[in-house]
Copies of this chain bind each other. A is one copy, B any other.
Amino acid sequence: MTKAELAAAKAELLERYQKYKDMDLSLNIARGNPSTAQLDMIMPMMDVIRSTTDCRDIYGTDARNYGALLGLKEAREFFGEMLGTTVDETIVVGASSINFMYDCLSRAMLKGVLGSEKPWVKYDKIKFICPVPGYDRHFSMCEFFGIEMIQVPTYEDGPDVDLIRKHVESDPTVKGMWCIPKFSNPLGITYSDDVVRALANLKPAAKDFRIFWDNSYMVHHIYGDVKLLNILDECKKAGNPDMVYMFGSTSKITMAGSGIGFFGASAANIKFTENQVKYETISWDKMNMLRHLRFIKSQGGIEKIMQKHANILRPKFDTVFEVLERELAGKGAGSWTKPKGGYFITFIANDGTATRINELVKACGVTMTGPGATHPFHHDPDDRYLRIAPSFPPVEELRPAMEVFAVSAQIATIESIEAQYE
């Protein structure tokens, strides 16, 4: 485009932008929350346990009283099956898997993990591998604990394993790594079998290196099935059975914040963890475990729920793709990921324009996750990544929000080209 053409295009976009601004919108595409329609579907779980004869798991444990530190055995079997772990490899915990990740990290800091020479807090410096873009809560935990974050790029098939290998195998202060292996937050990519195997076959310089495998979106398919290898199996084959901590939850299957978290690892890791968590609680909420078991009924029950969720989420993802495609395809104003499941789409803006896009959408009444949220310390060095969360708003709000976004992305792009001319 010539300078004049650019100016004309910009004028037209600003006119469209102003029209949206005049509408006094108040729209939100920031939160990865299930929608009210999804939550409504789960309401029968709330009164599934009604009588005193319903209060025991199949092994006879009364879920209403203290005990069963690692969770009801029936729940450990059920959620273990989701993780691909046996009862001895599974702990079922409270309502938040993020809380248990924090807890595992906090215990590692104070006491170490299986195989640690000393608590992690006793090192001058420890480091975690952080694939970027990634999940702000993973990064902020590292920040909180003073763990140095080594950023590695993420491709369509997972993070850069060569770079990871270099760090992990040479530096004994690299103690851990964050992964969201399926429908990753925010890219929506899934690790290929090769990537999973490469990670399982790492030969860490630190004997107590742990992969924090946050498999939050394991069953969250929207456009057909996507497979992920069981990393614990691969770790066992590679002679690294203790190297991985797997996390899952029903926060985005049943209710966000009232779900069930679960943890899978080698039997040796579970034993070690049991000997630590016995100091921190008597037992987690077993009635909520039982409520889940009775409502979900079977692994097929999970699938049924997730298909219903997908039917609610698909039109929203479709809307995002449709607006971006229509408004931006071939214009050089940014690209975007096309996940087959999960909760997020990532927009990759032109260098240095993400902050400006966010300013523009915000001024137009659209709230989105701020730029930088996808990187450690909220700092995206190229100012490129913006996370779009389509799950919560209804389509009729999502569409104008995405139109505002697309117009803003074009304006920001033209502004940045103009700035180069000056």
Say yes or no: A94 contacts B43, CB within 8 Å.
no
Interface size on A, residues (CB 8 A): 54
Say yes or no: B64 contacts A98, CB within 8 Å.
no
Please encode chain A, from 352 to 393, with 1 for each CB lying within 8 Å of some chain B CB and 0 for all others: 000000000000000000000000000000000000000000
Say yes or no: A39 contacts B62, CB within 8 Å.
yes
Q: Of residues A257, A282, A284, A286, which shows the largest number of chain B Cβ atoms within 10 Å of its Cβ?
A: A257
Identical chains in the assembly: 2
> How near does chain B come to A411, taking the closest CB pair, in angstroms?
32
Say yes or no: B287 contacts A64, CB within 8 Å.
no
A109 located at the interface, meaning its Cβ lies under 8 Å from any Cβ of chain B in the complex? yes
A420 located at the interface, meaning its Cβ lies under 8 Å from any Cβ of chain B in the complex? no
Say yes or no: A281 contacts B141, CB within 8 Å.
no
A279 contacts which chain B residues (CB < 8 A)?
A: 102, 137, 140-141, 144
Say yes or no: A52 contacts B43, CB within 8 Å.
yes
In the complex, A40→B56 CA distance in Å?
A: 12
> How near does chain B come to A205, taking the closest CB pair, in angstroms?
25
A257 contacts which chain B residues (CB < 8 A)?
A: 63-67, 282-287
Q: Which of A12-33 contact B (CB under 8 A)?
A: 31, 33
Chain A interface residues toward B at CB < 8 A: 31, 33-34, 36, 39-40, 42-43, 46-47, 49-52, 55, 62-67, 94-96, 98-99, 102-103, 106, 109-111, 121, 137, 140-141, 144-145, 251, 255-258, 276, 279-288
